[in-house]
Structure 1
Amino acid sequence: MRRFGNQREAGRRYVLRPGAYAILMRGRDFLITHQAAPFNEFQLPGGGIDPGESAIVALHREVLEETGWKIAQPRRLGAYRRFSYMPEYDLWAEKICHIFTARPARRISTPLEPDHDAIWTDAATAQRLLCNAGDRHFLRRYLRSC
C-alpha cells in the first residue's frame, strides 16, 4: 500500500487507526472540511472506523459529523497509509485511509463535530487547500477519471 507523508520512526509505537474518507462532488464543486483545532487544516471529510464498524458505516457517520451532509452511492477508490501524531488522542498513529467517492444527497445540519466547517470549493482550490498528500493524490486521480 502506498505511503504518503512521514516515514515510520524507529522505536516509536504506533496505534493502527483505519479510517474512511470521501471525495464529494456536486456540479463542479467539492465538499471538504476545515478543522480549526487542534490543527488548522483542510481535509477530505471522514475519520476513524470504530471497532466492529464497517468502512461504509463509518464513512456515512463521519461525513455527517464533519459536514452535516448525508451521502449516497459510496464507491471505494483505494487506500493509503500515513504515520502521524494525533494530539486529540495523544497518540502516534499508523493511519490506513480508505478513500471513497460518494454523492452528497442532503444537508441535514451544520457540522456536528466541534471546530469543523463544511466548505464547498472548486477542484483547483481543494487540491491547494487539502493538507495531506494522500488526499490530494486521490482527488487528482478522481479528477482524471471524470
Structure 2
Amino acid sequence: MSISPYLAGLRKHVGHELLMVPSVSGVVEDGDGRVLLERRADNGLWNLPSGALDPGEQPATALVREVYEETGLHVRVTRLAGVASHFTRYPNGDRCQYVNVWFHCRPERGTARVNDEESVAVQWFAVGELPDLHPYVRRRIDTALADGPAAWFVQPGEDFPELSVSDVS
C-alpha cells in the first residue's frame, strides 16, 4: 500500500512505533442499493475505499479524494455515518491506531474501476450478497446504511473486538 510523504517522513523518525493516524472511509451506495468495495492488493481482502488525511485536509474532502484515487469514481458525501479508532499492525512491523471517520456517499459521475496500485478489483455488491468481510468493515456498512441522521460511535465503557489489534497480512 502506498504511504503519503507526510507519514513516510514520520516513520523515518519513529520507526515502527505506534502512530495515531486520522483516516476516512466511504460507504458508496448506488441508486440500486449496492455498495462499492475494493479488493486490496496487499492482502486480497474486500474493503471500503479509505485512506489517511493529508495535512490541512478536511475529512469529507479526503474521502472524496481517496474514493476517486482508488476507484475513479466521483462521489457526493451525504452524511457522517460513524467514527471509531482501530489498531493495525503491518507485516513490516509498523503499528497504527487509525481514528476513522466514515461517511455515506452517492456516486456522481465516472465508472468504478481499479484506479491505482492499492486494489486489484473494484465491484458493486448488493447488501444481501456481500463477500466475506472483516467485522469492522461490515459495521461501517451497516451503520452507514441505517436509517437516521445520527452517526455511530463507541459509547464510553463499550468494547468491540473488531476494533482491537488486527494484522494486515
Q: Give the TM-score normalised by structure 2.
A: 0.69
Counterpart of 1:32 in structure 2 is: 37
Q: CA deviation at 1:49?
A: 0.8
Paired residues of 1:65 and 1:113 also in contact (CA < 8 A):
yes
Instruction: Provide closer, same or farther for how the CA distance between residues 90 and 60 of structure 1 changes in structure 2, counting only shifts above 3 A.
Output: farther
Give runs of aligned pairs for residues 1-146 of structure 1, distance below 5 A.
Answer: 13-26=17-30, 27-35=32-40, 37-87=41-91, 91-107=94-110, 110-116=113-119, 117-126=121-130, 128-131=131-134, 133-145=135-147
Q: Percent identity?
A: 24
Relative to its length, the structure with more strand (as a share) is 1
Deviation per CA, 1:109-136: give whole Å up to 9, x if none.
733221512111111233x4333x2221
Comparing 106-115 with 77-86, greater Cα deviation is found at 106-115
Which structure is larger by alpha-carbon Rg, 1 or 2?
2
Paired residues of 1:69 and 1:109 also in contact (CA < 8 A):
yes
Answer 1 or 2: higher relative contact order, Cα 8 Å, separation at least 6: 1
Q: CA deviation at 1:72?
A: 1.1
Q: CA deviation at 1:81?
A: 1.1
Q: Give the TM-score normalised by structure 1.
A: 0.78
**Aligned amino acid, residue 31 of structure 1:** L
Q: CA deviation at 1:80?
A: 1.1
Structure 2 CA distance for aligned equivalents of residues 111 and 125 of structure 1: 21
Deviation per CA, 1:70-120: give whole Å up to 9, x if none.
001332111111101234x75210011111001111115733221512111
Structure 2 CA distance for aligned equivalents of residues 30 and 109 of structure 1: 11
Q: Once superposed, which parts of structure 1, at least 4 consecutive aligned residues long, lie more than 2 Å away? A: 108-112, 128-131, 141-144
Paired residues of 1:64 and 1:111 also in contact (CA < 8 A):
no
Aligned-residue Cα RMSD (Å) equals 2.2
**Aligned amino acid, residue 69 of structure 1:** L
* Structure 2: gaps of 5 or more residues: 1-15, 149-169
